[in-house]
Amino acid sequence: MEDLKLAVLIDADNISPKYVKAILDEAASFGVATCKRIYGDWSDSRLKSWKDVLLNNSIIPVQQYSYTTGKNATDSAMIIDAMDLLYSGNLDGFCIVSSDSDFTRLAARLREAGKLVIGMGESKTLGPFVKACDQFKYLDLILDNAEPEEESAVPTAADNLQAASDDTAINRDSVGRLVHGMIDEMDDGTGWVRTSRIGDQLIKRYPDFDVRNFGSKSLNKFLAALPGLEVEERMLSNGNPIQFVRIRPQPAPRKPGRKAAAHAGGKKRAVRKKANGI
């Protein structure tokens, strides 16, 4: 399968250069970044920290002067370039890198044109922009959880992540409830469902879902750590492994032993005798 051709467009006004590796790594997981541009007023001393990063990663800076204080001309420049690139017909998708919800309409328009839209920003990004993308990656959470995985019950930053309103909030409990419902819906009678199907549905319902936000390195480990679930790996006939997940069966109630049953029967007879005045 041929790699998707992507345009990576970065808003330098509200994205730190410390995220550049995470940005390019995420883009590479979807395809090839054939166009890498970053927008800002490069006469502003606040953007000097980007200089070495741009040279080392072959990112083209686009100059956009601020015409007036308090107005962000960078947004307009990014939007115009994105539409020009869309009509060039040479791209399969776009990575819009910003925490600014002003790009919500742009993301929606690119998706209407049939393009893959990957949003990237910090966890402060408002829900409308997140939902307008096919997928959204929280760069600060990815960076925070980049160290070796340690499964634990300690809450991660994503456990408390809140978006613009309750219906856009995502945390471990809400994902757990959703997964339980998905397994019930997809169950073919065996109780087991492929983990890949669960992952696909989670991304469709939560564009910002990413197991790394919860400190996990893989979907299988994340699902196995959720309460009430168990994951099993099986080998296909071609030797490739495949993972399944199910709701952990509840243990059957234990039947009382003979002695316990006899004791219970004796107590019932004693109660009946007392009630009859014997």
Tens digits of residue pLDDT in 164-193: 333 445 678 888 888 998 898 888 889 899
Q: Show Cβ contacts of residue 35 under 8 Å, excluding neighbours closer than 6 positions.
A: 6, 7, 8, 85, 91
Does residue 102 surpass a pLDDT of 60? yes
Does residue 99 surpass a pLDDT of 60? yes
Q: What is the pLDDT of residue 154?
A: 42
Q: What is the pLDDT of residue 149?
A: 46
Class level of CATH domain 151-249: alpha beta
Q: What is the pLDDT of residue 161?
A: 47
Q: What is the pLDDT of residue 146?
A: 66
Tens digits of residue pLDDT in 118-163: 999 999 998 899 999 999 999 998 888 765 444 444 444 454 444 4
Q: What is the pLDDT of residue 217?
A: 86
Domain ranges of the chain: 1-144, 151-249
CATH 3.40.50.1010 for domain 1-144? yes
Tell me the mean pLDDT in the region 103-111. 96
When mean pLDDT is compared over 35-44, 200-209, 248-257, the highest value belongs to 35-44
CA 189/CA 191 separation, integer angstroms = 6
Does residue 42 surpass a pLDDT of 70? yes
Q: What does pLDDT average to over the chain?
A: 82
pTM summary value? 0.71
Edge-to-edge order in the sheet of strand 31-40: 60-63, 31-40, 4-11, 93-97, 116-121, 135-138
Buried b (16+ CB within 10 A) or exposed e, 59-79: bebbebeeeeeeebbbbebbb
Domains 1-144 and 151-249 agree in fold? no
Query: Predicted confidence band at 204 (pLDDT cuts at 50, 70, 90)?
Result: confident
